[in-house]
Chains A and B, each alone.
Chain A
Amino acid sequence: MTDLLSTPEPAAGLAPASGARQVWRRLRARKSALAAAAVLGLLVLLALAAPLLAALEGQDPNTYHDALVDSARGGVPLGDFGGISAEHWLGVEPGTGRDMFVRLLYGARVSLLVALGATVVQVLIGLAVGLGAALGNRFADSALTHLTDVMVSMPLLVFAIAMVAVVPADFPRPLLLVFAIGLLAWGSTARLVRGQTLSLKKLDYVSAARLTGGSSWRVARRELLPGLAAPVITYAAILVPSNIVIESTMSFLGVGVKPPTPSWGQMLSTANTWFRADPAYVLLPASMLFVTTLAFTVLADGVRVALDPREASRLRVGRGGRESRKSRPGGTA
């Protein structure tokens, strides 16, 4: 996702498109982003209301219904489409007969919680390391930048899996996943923060703020941090879907959340066994996962475009000329 990382510098002579209102207007103009936001809103609502909806259906995520699966055929649910019925709106799990609807909803809770929690950890570490590198002395910068480089290049999944192997089994798994992902995958955020801070630091208004005689912290808080908000939010929006994929992947591999806690990835880990006999069992969590990550990705893409004035005017920059930019004087000794 390197292309999502390039931080646009404001074009010379153009007023930087800022202001939350402008961004909102551009975001609203993208129908796909709006649709994605609507889907995600619905999903979050469903996840929040999971206990309520479960009560409405009259089921819970962990009760076995042996009577609803055909033990003679290895536990395939009785009935069509994975055993859909008035009691079990989306059918039951093969083998155990647990209610699919409720398990999918609780799965959404796990996915969203882990992904958002990990994003928070990533952003906090990324901000701390990135700011430390950009504002610290030469030694701090070089040490932190090297650390960041190493973190960025290391394959996340290998390390996250290894981390799960050493932590005691009684440590709560969702929390472990939050930290495994958060502590390992902050590198690109730190890189972004450092780059953005360095380019902000060069701007004259930051120099002007230093000349006011205010403390360094005052300058950082008033002039630097607000400039970081937009790129960091964009980047966080990109991190969420990738964190969802990592969580579900780890659960799929059997090193994520532990049964009986439901997770979409975990449901899919037995997909190979079931997709012939009970395709519904594979399709349901797969489509939930796909729709969720796609919606997050589309929304993140929309946010990125809305925040990037260069992207918005790309068509005009494209071919041939446009009104020449203001003359660039030579005196930059």
Chain B
Amino acid sequence: MTTYFLRRALGAVAVVLVLSAVVYVTFYVAPGDPARLACGPRCNTEQIRQVREQLSLDDPLLTQYWHFLQGVFTGQDYSTGTSVLHCDAPCFGLSYQNNQLVTDMLVDRLPATASLAVGAMAVWLAVGIGTGLLSALRRGGVTERALTWLTLAGTATPVFISGVALLMLFCVYLEWLPFPSYVPLTQDPEQWAWNMLLPWLALGLLESAKYARLTRSSLLETLAEDHIRTFRAYGVRERSLVARHALRGALAPVIALTAADFGSIFGGAMVTEVTFGLPGIGQLLVNATQKIDLPVVVAVVVITGTAVVIANIVADVLYAVADRRVALR
């Protein structure tokens, strides 16, 4: 077990390092000139030269990457003409847009993304697993057909369609809800919840389709196993068959998927955030991309990659705990 974690941790570090190197190199070396981007469209050659110097863009690539890593792990100082700005670890540099610290921008955006992630996950777990179990246990009936179609439609719908549909329904025609605008939880919990309701539903209901399919197929597979037949042949009720002998094995892949999805959602549920105007990390990334704000893009990509790598280790462990036939290797 210890060796397993050690090996996985080393592997994770390696993946994150390689990932950050690839991202860094493609972003700062490839086509465009970062100095020109950082400086803005109205800069003359002299100003660009100054920026190049300031960002040490003329250093060898390896040195640049090393500085980037140093920044991430130990922090860095930036001179902004007159004053010196200290950037604590983890430091991802300064935004080209407004010379703000990228780390600060991310921290500002985290609450909205976290609010969305937690709520939507609650919705998709409850609805997805519930629907999946129901459609697996009501096989051959109208319920199953209806649920199958609903989940198919769900997997085929992009979030911006379901989001717009919900907005039109609840905010325009029924006028039950105000047009959502983000209110921090710390400021007003009740308003926070009301304003997050539609984003939660839009993202959660769609994701639940994926979970419903997985739960259903996994439970059906488990129910077709020989050991279920044994207990059926010994007069055990269908209810306890599912509860005692099928559910645990059937939910193992669902739990693993949850952990993995939770990791990637922190890269921001971009579409949901943009559709509902939530000031989250995803929205930040989209804006940064449009304005080619490289430090922000690199930071989001590296952080998301790290979150996903960690989440996958957690997912594997949870899977092995739930399905004891799987050994951690």
Contact = CB atoms under 8 A, between A and B. Distances in A.
Given A3-B217, A168-B31, A317-B224, 11 more contacts: A1-B155, A162-B297, A165-B297, A168-B32, A253-B271, A272-B277, A275-B167, A282-B164, A289-B158, A290-B161, A294-B156
Contacts of B292: 165
Interface of A, helix, strand, loop or mixed by DSSP: helix
Interface in B147-167: 152-153, 155-161, 164-165, 167
A249 B294 contact: no
B301 A162 contact: yes
B172 interface: yes
Interface string B201-235: 00000000010011011101101100001001100
B157 A301 contact: no
Interface in A150-167: 150, 153-155, 157-159, 161-162, 164-167
B31 A286 contact: no
Interface of A: 1-4, 6, 146, 149-150, 153-155, 157-159, 161-162, 164-168, 241, 245, 248-249, 252-255, 265, 268, 271-272, 275-276, 279, 282, 286, 289-290, 293-294, 296-298, 301, 314-315, 317-321
Contact of A165 (B168, B218, B289, B309): B289
Interface in B86-143: 139-140
17 contacts: A2-B214, A3-B216, A3-B217, A150-B15, A153-B309, A157-B270, A161-B286, A162-B285, A165-B297, A253-B286, A271-B164, A272-B275, A275-B164, A276-B172, A279-B168, A294-B157, A321-B229
Interface residues of B, number: 65
B260 interface: yes
B31 A296 contact: no
Contacts of B168: 275, 279, 282
B63 interface: no
Contacts of A279: 168
A294 B150 CA distance: 11
Contacts, number: 149
B224 A155 contact: no
B136 to A, nearest CB: 11
Contacts of B27: 162, 165-166
